[in-house]
Structure formats: structure tokens, C-alpha cells
Amino acid sequence: MGENVTILSGPPSSLGIMARGLRGILPVVGKQGKLKAETRLPTRSVGLDVTVDADRVTDYCDVVGLNNTGEVPIMYLYVLSFPLIMDLFLADDFPAAAVGSVHVENTITRRRAIAIGERLSLRTSVGNLREHRKGMLLDFVTEFLDEAGESVASEVSTMLIQQRTSPSDEPAPEPPKQAKPGPPDAYLSVDGGLIRRYASVSGDRNPIHMSPLGGKAFGFPSSIAHGAWTAAAILRLVEGRIPDAATYTVRFGKPVVLPARIALYSKQTDDNGWEIVARDRKKGFPHVTGVVTPL
């Protein structure tokens, strides 16, 4: 991964993460310089040893609407990696500010079931800087090792740093034409209170999720749901049918403005996996598209 590893004594506090994130947009210390393909990213990794906490998993399952089976839900691996991602993203040597970035995709690969109470070593690094029509993409990659040093899972969080790039001048691709979706398989309701509970459990207290004023401050009509909450909550449609060894790929579309009632659709794929889409129930555009693929 990186040339060296910084081992954290414990996860950064959510309030500390928020304070460091807001500091990054101040005019004196902000670092919103334009990224280029050759921009040097930190070559170090951040490490943290954790024991999967039973109470926290219970709270997580409750707030995303999943049954607690005694094993780690696949999207919970992102929650474990989040403080390490933020530690790298908010560091003084990171060449861009985290505030204003957009989480566009997650790929989580779980190689076996992970039990509550299991001891894991996490290692997170960043790389793969590349151009996008709306800016620059980069990947935060986390490996999860068991006590024997075996990799039991990996997680890739793809972030978009918004800025002009050379593809910005190219014509925008035609949006794919989509047939009007039929009746949904289920509905998913969410409000600000539920999302604030998720923020407490996950440690992600970004102001855009915490209050309507916080959302409006960043250009939204109100507060918005965490994409990671939606990505976890839609898995209730296929609960009990996700194999222990699987990859969950999530693409984030337009945010869910709170409060909301979302339409959910699912279908089985050719490889015996599942595609689940959370759509705006009136306009039909996707908020989150998740694909579960057996390994």
C-alpha cells in the first residue's frame, strides 16, 4: 500500500473530523488547489486495530433496518473504514479539501463472514488519481486483515474532487433512456431524526446531514441522507440472500433530500447476484444503485 504506515491509537472522534474538515475551507489554510493527474498524493497508509463492537453493530442494524445476525453487515465495513479515510483526506499533506467532494462509488469485497467481536487490522491508502468530466476522481482503499494476517475484506471509496478538467469541454454523454419503472418492490421512508441517529452510529456528522440549515449552506434544499445509509438500507430487500463471500458495488446518484419516501426495485442478475435501485418515487431518477455479486 503506502511507503510507511501511521498506526492510530484509536479512531478520530466525529467532532474532530468535522472540525478538521471545516478548517480545510478557511481562506488562510484552505488547500483547494487544482489537482492534476501528476499531483502527488500521500504515499503513506493509515492503520487502526479494531474489535467489532456488538453494541455498535446492534445500533447500526437498527438504524438501517437490517436484522442482527451476529455477523458484520457488508456495508458496515465502510463505517469501520470511514475514520481512516477521513484521517488521510483531512491531513495537512493532502492536496485538496474534503469539504465539497462527492462520494460517487463504493466497492466492498467480503471474502468470508466476519463475526461480531472479531479483531481486525485496517490499513487505508489513497491513489488512482484520474480525470472525470466534473473534476478528479481518487480511490481510498482499505484492507481488513484478521489476527492471522489474512485479508478478509477490502473496501474502495471513490471520491470526486469537483473542478474543471480537460474532459469538461467534451460534450456531455446522452443520458441513457430508461423505461418508466413499474410498481416498486417496496418503499423506504427516511427523515432527519433517523439520519441524525445514523450520523451518531457511523461517526459521519457532516453538516449537510445534520440539519436543514446545514444542507442549505452547501446548496441543497434541506438536509440530505447519507448515501451510505441508503446503500445499507436497500439491502433489506435481499436480506438472507447475500452470500458470505460477495462484492457489493454501489453507485451514488442524486442525493435523498429529507424527509423522503423512496421507491425500491430489485432483480436477480445472471450470476445469481442482485441489483437493487433506490429511485425518486415521482421522477424515477436513481439515488443509489447497488449490485451484489457472489464470489
Please state which CATH number belongs to domain 1-173. 3.10.129.10
Confidence of residue 76 (pLDDT cuts 50, 70, 90): very high
Give the containing element (helix H, strand E) for 250: strand 246-252
Confidence of residue 2 (pLDDT cuts 50, 70, 90): very low
Domain with CATH 3.10.129.10 in the chain: 1-173, 178-295
User: Could you tell me which of 291, 282, 289 has the C-alpha nearest to residue 181?
Assistant: 282
Please report the pLDDT score of residue 27 as a whole number: 46
Give the integer Cα–Cα distance in Å for 157 and 107.
7
Give the integer Cα–Cα distance in Å for 163 and 136.
7
Confidence of residue 19 (pLDDT cuts 50, 70, 90): low
Burial of 283 (0-12, 13-18, 19+ CB in 10 A): exposed
Please report the pLDDT score of residue 106 as a whole number: 98
- pLDDT tens-digit map of 113-122: 999 999 999 9
What percentage of the chain carries pLDDT values higher than 90? Answer: 75
> 255 preceded by cis ω (within 30°)?
no
Residue 30's alpha-carbon distances to 71, 110, 112, 135, 167, in angstroms, are 41, 37, 41, 18, 26
Distance of CA 39 to the CA centre of its chain: 24
Please report the pLDDT score of residue 275 as a whole number: 98
- pLDDT tens-digit map of 132-142: 889 999 999 99
Which three three-digit cell numbers place residue 204?
459521519
Please report the pLDDT score of residue 20 as a whole number: 58
Domain boundaries 178-295, CATH class: alpha beta
CB-based contact 126:104 (threshold 8 Å): no
- pLDDT tens-digit map of 253-276: 999 999 999 999 999 999 999 999
- pLDDT tens-digit map of 42-66: 999 999 999 999 999 999 999 999 9
pTM exceeding 0.95? no
Distance of CA 67 to the CA centre of its chain: 21
